[in-house]
Amino acid sequence: MSACGFLFLDKPSGVTSQRALSPLKRILSEKRIGHAGTLDPLATGLLVVAAGKATRLMSWAEGMDKEYLVSMRTGIRTDTLDTDGQILSEAEPFQGQPDWSFLFRPFLGEIDQIPPSYSAISVDGVRSYVRARAGEEVVLPARRVRIDSIEVVDQSPLDATGWALGDFTLRVRCSKGTYVRSLVRDLGEALGCGATVSALRRTAIGQWRVPDTFTGTDTIPELHPVASVFPDHPRFVASLEDRKALSHGHATPTDQADAEDVFCLDGQGQAIAFGKVMAGRFQPDAMLVDPAELGA
């Protein structure tokens, strides 16, 4: 039986999200490995990783809200909007404490945000960061995002490049698609001195969390069965005959009430399909096991 489930990886700084997954492919002997939401090489924090047929549920995980800790270095503007980039301008860092409630107010709720030119957004089939690295001027259109809260953290738990005068650390809770680097850029412009990201850590995706600080451990995380990762989703157990029908993509009868995002389980509690129930029938959107495993 191939690996199928979720892992929760604490990505270290200095590696891409994709490279952070490489050891898992070898250890699990599984080529189908995916993650929800790319983290920049500079960033640390939570990657929700799916293995095997669980990758069919990644779009659902990607849509969840996120939480970040970000260290903002004032007085510096960079092309990548973080300290890994080239410095475009320097000014005196911000002195003292801003009026945070006044500063944050325009950035809370649904806002139009301009993504960084150094991002994975495609422009005519080419990633924006590829164009930017080639020296092209890239100006991406604004996107609608939602920022639920911004709060100041008294002491930096990140401190990736050393603490400097005018540095602040913020905790940001936001929707999918929000660029924290863009938020820091815009806050810096509101302060009048510019700002860039000196450290970034994703601490939560949906209900899944990692600690505020990176431990540096290389321990391989546990592979969690799909059904255990989504405990609040409705579910029902299918009979052997119904499981065989499901293996051919057919809808099957169920007593489960009509609902979206329903798991169908086998007799051992393993999730075998994900779909919706309408008018007493379960229609699979994604099969999570091979037909041979259902006795088809």
Q: Which residues are catalytic?
A: 40
Grouping H, G, I as helix, E, B as strand and the rest as coil, residue 271 is strand
The amino acid occupying position 164 is A
d(CA 4, CA 274): 13
d(CA 293, CA 239): 14
The amino acid occupying position 123 is V
d(CA 235, CA 259): 10
Burial classification of residue 142, based on how many CB atoms lie within 10 Å of its CB (0-12 exposed, 13-18 middle, 19 or more buried): exposed
Which helix or strand (DSSP H or E) is residue 265 part of? strand 259-265
Q: Where are the beta strands (DSSP E) in 167-214?
A: 167-174, 195-205, 208-209
d(CA 210, CA 49): 14
Contacts of 125 (CB under 8 A, 6+ apart): none
Grouping H, G, I as helix, E, B as strand and the rest as coil, residue 28 is helix
- In 3D, which of 76, 73, 3, 11 has the Cα closest to residue 214? 11
**C-beta atoms surrounding 42 within 10 Å:** 19
d(CA 179, CA 174): 9
- In 3D, which of 164, 160, 171 has the Cα closest to residue 76? 164
The amino acid occupying position 113 is Q
